[in-house]
């Protein structure tokens, strides 16, 4: 997923030609990131230890950038689903009231 998300980031930032292959990569990444957002919200609602508070203003571009930064800092986490859920839990914790 890193390859696809790096391509998506470059296409979205107009650093890479939006050709057929790059658009496919971008679509796969965006779909994965958005799907993971749904999974994160379901986990946050149903699992006590997993609490995230993703602001409504958070863009898909920001999530992709954070995902890439996270996997670059954590190369031992090779499973994309684990990486994105862990990244969200670390980057978007709920504030204590």
Q: How confident is the model at residue 93 (pLDDT cuts 50, 70, 90)?
A: confident
Q: Answer whether residue 96 is part of any domain.
A: no
Residue-by-residue DSSP string for the chain: -HHHHHHHHHHHTTSS---HHHHHHHHHHHHHHHHHHHHHHHHHHH-TT--B---TT--HHHHHHHHHHHHHH-TT---HHHHHHHHHHHHSBPPP-
- Give pLDDT tens digits for 25-80: 999 999 998 888 777 778 777 887 777 888 888 888 999 999 999 999 999 998 98
| Structural domain that includes position 31 | 2-91
Q: Answer whether residue 85 is part of any domain.
A: yes
Q: What is the pLDDT of residue 34?
A: 86
Q: Answer whether residue 97 is part of any domain.
A: no
Domain count, the chain: 1
Q: Answer whether residue 23 is part of any domain.
A: yes
- Give pLDDT tens digits for 7-29: 999 998 889 888 999 899 999 99
């Amino acid at each position: 997923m890193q390859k696809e998300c790096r391509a998506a980031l470059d296409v979205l930032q107009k650093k890479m030609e939006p050709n057929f292959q790059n658009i496919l990569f971008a679509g796969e990444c965006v779909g994965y990131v958005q799907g993971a957002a749904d999974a994160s919200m379901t986990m946050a609602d149903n699992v006590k230890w997993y609490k995230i508070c993703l602001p409504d203003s958070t863009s898909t571009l920001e999530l992709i950038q954070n995902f890439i930064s996270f996997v670059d800092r954590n190369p031992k986490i090779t499973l994309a689903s684990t990486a994105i859920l862990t990244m969200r839990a670390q980057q978007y914790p709920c504030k204590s009231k």
